[in-house]
A and B are shown apart, each in its own frame.
Chain A
């Protein structure tokens, strides 16, 4: 079990359930687990198990229907809505469907978190250029998402997620559109960020990827946590 799971950078759930709408069915049931700051977890489970819903909870896209959720030191159920944006800026997310802004270039998509954080434009240019180079899209800077392949879009999404060096990085099938070399490169990046203190949670179906990078896993089935190395008994 990780140590101070609710400290800055970590997260903890105690009896967290989620339903969409007041009368909707429960999609997550009484989840309790913790990940310490700088921890790494695979999030595994079949399609429809609730992995994406759990990631939506952790990205603060929804609030839990019940239970206690603590993200980066903040008790989300008690956090005022106006206090959530600064918290979100410390969370990097790689969405399964990329969620790039279609009217912006690759460069501007990657630059978006920095601009929202109010970074000076000179720093934005330097940081984004470096990141774009790292993900191998130097020649595609001005391309819109519609002009990029699936793999290229995914790399832009990854670059956008890590450009602010987030305290918490959540990725939903981040290697789904990448070839083996690119996937290995991505895992190297995630490993580096993790070593620098970023808490990383990666949802995937890719068993070979999990085998090549062994780490603790959270396994979901039908919205319930069936396997966790650091289950919190609430």
Chain B
């Protein structure tokens, strides 16, 4: 220890990663984090939209699209050709059971049919002159089994209706796909704007600290040292901003999920508040601040290094 240390007054030494370039003032912790927070907020909503559209599309293209309804009028009448003496309903039920691509076929009970018709016919149908049709709820492996099935059932029980919502579900699936694409585009746009905002902030910081940069460059600082100082500062600012935006957006997302719960599955409608958001969304949310931090780091590095390249 040198003698000078005993005679010198105490001085507040800073760590080596100290703010040599004065970036805490040049890159303030106000405007940039606020802008990043706003973009992160939008990104969360876009991400939520994308995840919801993806879930709906999967639902529509999956279970719902493959759900058929088969109506057999005059169910107790004699079956047509190939019915083998069975009633029309029984012949159709046997055919459905043996149909390739049909996962399950369940005949609705009389009470269930009455419940379906009650808005139009009232709760009691015993006084009706007409016979209620037999109704089968069929789960098919795919939505494409209906074409041939309908023709075969017509043979067994003429007048049988096979209602498939596949076409509509395909259209709704396409709509959901479009929504996903829009959400992805919105996310890409948010990332692009975030990059631009960071680049502008970095250039503003360079302009504010141009002299300091040139001095430390002249003293032997490498491009990596200088760009690293900027990148560290901007990573902190973008991460903090994005974290704020995400935390602010989560309650909004939960409210939207609560409002849209009736349109979602029965499970989601009755779930706890937190469980109303898909797990994949919960998993994706923490990646937003990390992504923002990465955008801050990479953009700052590239912007500063590009500027420094003009120096000798």
Contact = CB atoms under 8 A, between A and B. Distances in A.
Nearest to B17: A115
Contacts of B211: 99
Interface residues of A, number: 42
Nearest to A89: B220
B210 interface: no
A130 interface: yes
Chain B contact residues, majority secondary structure: loop
Interface in B215-237: 215-216, 218-223, 225
Interface in A185-216: none
Nearest to A92: B219
A186 to B, nearest CB: 19
Chain A contact residues, majority secondary structure: helix
Given A103-B25, A116-B221, A126 B9 contact: no
Nearest to A127: B2
Nearest to A63: B312
A129 interface: yes
Interface string A154-192: 000000100000000000000000000000000000000
For chain B, give the interface size range: 20 to 34
Contacts of B14: 108
Contacts, number: 95
Contact of B312 (A60, A105, A108, A121): A60
Among B220, B223, B309, B312, find the residue whose CB has the most chain A CB atoms closer than 10 A: B220
Contacts of A107: 11, 13
Interface in A80-134: 81-82, 84-89, 93, 99-105, 107-108, 112-113, 115-118, 121, 124-126, 129-130, 132-133
Given A85-B222, A113-B220, A126-B1, A141 B9 contact: yes
A139 interface: yes
B41 to A, nearest CB: 33
B126 interface: no
A138 interface: yes
A147 interface: no
A23 interface: no
Among A89, A100, A118, A125, find the residue whose CB has the most chain B CB atoms closer than 10 A: A125
A62 interface: yes
Given A81-B312, A104-B20, A112-B20, A61 B4 contact: no
B2 A130 contact: yes
A121 B15 contact: yes
Contacts of B19: 103
Contacts of B212: 101-103
B30 interface: no
A116 B312 contact: no
Contacts of B219: 88-89, 112-113, 116, 160
Contacts of A103: 19, 22, 25, 212
Interface in B12-30: 12-16, 18-22, 25
B7 A88 contact: no
A145 to B, nearest CB: 12
Contacts of B222: 82, 85
A80 B13 CA distance: 35
Contacts of A62: 312
Interface string B282-312: 0000000000000000000000000001001
A5 interface: no
A86 B220 contact: yes
Contact of B220 (A88, A121, A125): A88
B220 A117 contact: yes
B148 interface: no
Contacts of B13: 107, 121, 124-125
A227 interface: no
Given A129-B2, A141-B11, A85 B22 contact: no
B8 A133 contact: yes
A93 B219 CA distance: 8
B5 interface: yes
A85 B220 contact: yes
B214 to A, nearest CB: 8
Interface string A62-78: 11000000000000000
7 contacts: A84-B312, A88-B220, A102-B22, A116-B216, A132-B8, A141-B11, A142-B12
Interface of A: 59-63, 81-82, 84-89, 93, 99-105, 107-108, 112-113, 115-118, 121, 124-126, 129-130, 132-133, 138-139, 141-142, 160
Given A116-B225, A160-B219, 15 more contacts: A85-B220, A88-B218, A88-B220, A89-B220, A104-B22, A107-B13, A113-B220, A117-B220, A121-B13, A125-B13, A129-B2, A129-B4, A129-B5, A130-B4, A133-B8
Minimum-distance CB pairs A-B, first 3: A89-B220, A103-B22, A88-B220
